[in-house]
Amino acid sequence: MTTRFKNDSLWIETDTGNRISRKATICAPVNIVLSGNVIIKADVIIRGDLKRAGPSPSIAMNIGKYTILDEACVVRPAYKTYKGTFSYYPMKIGDYTSIGAHSVLEAAAVGSYVDIGRGCVVGRFVVIKDCARLTPGSVVPPNTVIPPYALFSGCPATQIDTLPESTLDNVQQATTSAYNDFKMT
């Protein structure tokens, strides 16, 4: 894939509209799939090198379109020892999802239209369904399932409210306009 440089020193924009900061640490990009229109800001760490054990090529990270990874967040695949073998498990992040600054994400799956606030810690094998929201500073314990349209908060994070049905449209609009208004400076 050829890359087109808009601002040579700071940002890379790919043909599919992914905007990636040069200050981000992206390990083993071969194992990472970006669906396009993804923003990866400065100091983000994505651990694509932590893939499933074995010689066959496998994808460690799948990130949907219009997903925004805010400054200094850490995204790494979850791991466990199952029947005596240690392995990493691939992570899938849906479309129109935003991950707040300084958050640490080790989830198994994050749905679409999800909003993860600043400074959240999401434990191993957490499943976040579509249209869910995490307030800033929440800590989600491992193996938790966050149902759709749920607002989670606290440490350990528990459901405090249900989001309205318009969440899907609002989040889609907000992330799309955040991408369009984003300036690579």
Partner 1 sequence: MASVSVLYQSKLRSALDKGEFYPLSHLYFCEECDAIRCPRTIILDAVMHYCPNCLFEVPTASVKSQRNRCMRNCSSCPLCQSSLSTVGTGTSIDDPNISLDKLTEAESSRADPPFLLSCGCCGWNSRCFGERGVFDKPTGIGALIARGDEKEGRANEEFEHVRSKFESLLSVDGFVDDVAFHPLYPAHATPDTSDRQLESLAETEFDKLNILRNATDLHDIHNSSNSYPSSIYKHLQTPQRIKLVTKYSKRCATCRHILIKPDTKSHTKHKIKMTANNYLPAINARIARMALQPTGSRLTSNGELRGGRVYVFEMHTVNPLYDAMKIRMKVVHQSGCKARIDEGEYEIGAFNDVMEFEEEAWVQSQARRISEAKSVGLVESKGNWTNSMFELGVYQDAKRLEVSFGKEKVYADEKV
| CB 98, min distance to partner 1, A | 17
Cβ within 8 Å of residue 146, ≥6 positions away: 126, 127, 128, 129, 132, 134, 140, 152, 157, 159
Least distance to partner 1 from the beta carbon of 105, Å? 16
3 state SS of 29: helix
At closest approach, how far in Å is the CB of 84 from partner 1? 5
Query: Does 4 sit near partner 1 (CB under 8 A)?
Result: no
Which CB sits closer to partner 1, 32 or 157?
A: 157
Beta carbon of residue 79, minimum distance to partner 1 (angstroms, whole number):
7
Question: Which residue number, 42 or 79, has a Cβ lying nearer to partner 1?
Answer: 79
Omega before 156 cis (within 30°)?
yes
Establish if 181 lies at the interface with partner 1 (CB under 8 A): no
129 contributes a contact to partner 1 by CB under 8 A: yes
The angle at the Cα of 147, spanning 143 to 151, to the nearest 5 degrees, equals: 105
Strands 78-82 and 85-89 come out as antiparallel
CA 160/CA 180 separation, integer angstroms = 32
* Two tokens, residue 144: 């938790």
State both tokens at 107.
């989830």
Binding mask 74-103 toward partner 1 (x if CB under 8 A, else -) reads ----xxxxxxx-------------------
In the complex with partner 1, the residue whose CB is nearer, 66 or 125, is 125
By rule CB under 8 A, what count of residues binds partner 1? Answer: 35
Site residues (CB under 8 A) for partner 1? Answer: 78-84, 111-113, 123-125, 129-131, 141-145, 147-150, 156, 158-159, 164-170
